[in-house]
Amino acid sequence: MPLTATTDVTPPVEGAYRPFGLTRCTTTEPESGYDVSGIDYEPGSQMSVRDGRPLIDQPILGTAVQCTVTTTEDMQAWTDQVTDS
Amino acid sequence: MTVLVLTQQLDPTADLVIRELHQRGIPVFRCDPGDFPEAVELEAHVSVTGAVTGVLRSAEREVDLEKVTSVYYRRPTPHRAHSRLNSTEQTWSEREAAAGFGGVVTTLGCRWVNHPHRNMAVAHKPHQLAAAARAGLTVPESLITNNADAARDFAEAQGKAVYKAMTGGPDTGGEARTASALYTTLVTADEITPGVARTAHLFQAWVDKACEVRLTVVGERLFAARIDARSAKAHVDWRADYRNLAYSPIEPPSGVGRAVHRLMSGLHLTFGALDFVVTPHGRWVFLELNPNGQWGWIQLATGQPIAAAIADQLQESSR
């Protein structure tokens, strides 16, 4: 489709991802990163550990697991906040 | 018997399943395909009869491919070539790695949760919506277009409409090549610009909601978790404000359950994470299906034994 004088090619607002065809979008808080300090992989159990204990047996409030784009396809990336049971 | 778990190293969700398998005494070989070719070795033979034999080998263990009875396909990372190759060589190395490694594992005659080709086939929202409606689920009126006038007409006609990205937001760049999150946005006709012409846009009728439901399907088992929003942002898209959500188990209506089973069977999926809106009148409206969606936090929040159900599926051998 050829560009016309009325075609909007305004780049997204800096620092925020805005859909091409909208004047705004739902924004989120900037990611502060995930606290993965002290988390290791234990080859014997083939699971993650922290302080020598399985990560999944410990309170991990605030630790988010990021879905990444897989080798084939992923639906959408969102942070997976795991909370205390 | 061995279960092959294909996922990245830090994946507590996969850990939940691996622990279940350990408790059942079922051998596990965990591998991130991204570690091939540099940290994982493959020796696979394809015989003249089509038999695939050989081994997959990591620094700690190896598995006979013929002993792999099921595969849990979770969060594999892209293949990573040697860092000292130039960019052209890296691209080629990674492409060949994907063809070789992927080509071998995807042809193993065993049970998959889920097979990546099945995931790819249902990856796109328009496909899911059509399949869900044909299976008997209620879906919102939807428009996929790159025509701004059509988009505005749709928004006007619906009264209240939303925009949804179909693949998340633009890549954030860097090594992870992660798509940024781009959440559902309420939109009026005058907020739609000619920029619609730049790509496909998905618009849907807004569905009034009493609550939302994440329905995790594992084989014949349905685990429905009611999600109540406690903020305006979460009310539009619960993924946008995890801190203001409440979860509780809920039983889906029998008609919804039957339709979900028809949908999953038609799509040849064993696992799925389905999102529903429940209207104030109690109607369940299907929004989307993620064939590889996250579920770990739902289990921890509700106590629903999703990991055990996945382990049950992996324990069933098709060999």
The ipTM of this complex is 0.85
Q: Nearest-5° angle of CA B46, CA B39, CA A63?
A: 120
- The per-residue pLDDT for range B188-244, each reduced to its tens digit, is 999 999 999 999 999 999 998 888 899 999 999 999 999 887 777 666 666 666 667
Provide, as residue numbers in chain A, all residues whose Cβ is less than 8 Å from the Cβ of B40. Answer: none
A43 touches chain B (CB under 8 A): yes
Q: What is the mean pLDDT of residues A27-53?
A: 78
Any domain includes A60:
yes
Please report the pLDDT score of residue B69 as a whole number.
96
Query: Which residues lie below 8 Å from residue B137, measured CB to CB, with a gap of 6+?
Result: B256, B259, B260, B263, B284, B286
User: CB distance A73–B76 less than 8 Å?
Assistant: no
What CATH number matches the domain at B122-138+209-304, 3.30.470.20, 1.10.1060.10, 3.20.20.80, 3.30.420.40? Answer: 3.30.470.20
B110 vs chain A: nearest CA distance in angstroms? 19
Q: Is residue A47 part of a domain?
A: yes
Domain boundaries, chain B: 2-109, 122-138+209-304, 141-206
Is the CB of A69 inside 8 Å of chain B's CB atoms? yes
pLDDT of B86 higher than 90: yes
Residues A71, B177: C-beta atoms closer than 8 Å: no
The per-residue pLDDT for A61 is 41
In 3D space, the residue among A70, A69, A32 whose CA is nearest the CA of residue B180 turns out to be A69
Give me the domain span that covers residue A59: 39-81
CATH number of B2-109: 3.40.50
| pLDDT for the residue A4 | 38
- What is the arithmetic mean of pLDDT over B275-301? 90
Contacts of A79 in chain B (CB under 8 A): 181, 242
Residue A69 placed within a domain: yes
Q: Are the beta carbons of B120 and A23 separated by less than 8 Å?
A: no
The average pLDDT across B302-309 equals 94
Q: Is the pLDDT of residue B10 over 50?
A: yes
Dist. CA B49–CA B47, nearest whole Å: 5
Task: Identify the CA nearest to B74 among candidates B137, B10, B157.
Answer: B10
Of B213 and B178, which is predicted with more confidence?
A: B213
Residues with Cβ within 8 Å of residue B87, at least 6 apart in sequence: none
- Chain B residues lying within 8 Å of A8, measured CB to CB: 193-195
Other C-beta atoms closer than 10 Å to the C-beta of B194 total 18
pLDDT, tens digit, 9 for 90 and up, residues B52-83: 999 999 999 999 999 999 999 998 999 999 99
User: Is it the case that residue A60 has pLDDT exceeding 80?
Assistant: no
Residue B17: pLDDT above 90?
A: yes
How far apart are alpha carbons B150 and B299 in whole angstroms?
41
The CA-based angle A14-A18-A20, given to 5 degrees, is: 115
B141-155 pLDDT per residue, tens: 999 999 999 999 999
Strand-pair partners of B70: B3, B111
Q: Model confidence over B157-166: pLDDT tens digits?
A: 999 999 988 8
Residues of chain B in contact with residue A22, where contact means CB-CB under 8 angstroms, are: 163, 185, 187, 191-193, 195
Mean pLDDT on B100-124 = 93
The number of distinct structural domains making up chain A is 1
Q: How confident is the model at residue B27 (pLDDT cuts 50, 70, 90)?
A: very high
Architecture of the B141-206 domain: 2-Layer Sandwich (3.30)
